[in-house]
Structure 1
Amino acid sequence: MHILFQINALLRFLLEMITLIALAFVGFTKYTLPLNLLMGILVPIVIYVIWSICMAPLSPNRVGLLLRVTIEIIIFGLCSYMIITKISLRVGTVYGVIVALNAIMAHIGEGIYGSSLSIAPE
């Protein structure tokens, strides 16, 4: 069962990168000139900084579970909303469902195995 949570942790990292790429893509392609720079550059950078300070498993400033879940809902919900409104309802819905299932698995794995799942065997 431990390997399932490790695979989920890898998928979670990929989803975080996809989120930043999707936000930048939607920002650059679906907005006009002054707003596209804000949405395509500034929003992904702000989300990256928030994630690295508050959410990263080895961050010394990692926030509690309830605040982490709230930040995840805001970040992933924003990305899902932008995909739904600017690209496609189906793509945004699939993204939202995958992120939600991944988050549930990640928090279950964190509760069982601790805050960081290592790749090395124990």
Structure 2
Amino acid sequence: MMICSAVVIWPGSTHDAFSLGQSTIATTVANGVLGDRWLLGDSGYPLPAWLLTQFLNPGTGPERRYNKSLKTSRSMVERVFGIRKTRFRCLDRAAAVYNLFQKNGSKSYFTTLLRK
């Protein structure tokens, strides 16, 4: 598991879809640089051809299997965030040192750099 891109310009309350739309990785993927690879998202994201999201109302067996596979893959992404928050407690709101590097996402970027 590895973080390949980090966008830390906006505060944590900014919607992920907005952050993705403003990122260089969205432009890179949209230009076909990744070839036949895709990004994973949830139902809160828009639907460009390169972003895989779940079926909201899966009606067929293949749609249900697709949703299950996507959920399994996305859980790995969430696990990376959880591991990062465990190793760097300053990323967790419950941590006593939460205000460390608070401005402009530098705290998140700093801990991401430490793990690369």
Same fold (TM > 0.5): no
Normalised to the residue count of structure 1, the TM-score between the two structures is 0.34
TM-score by length of 2: 0.35
Whichever structure has more helix as a proportion of its residues is 1
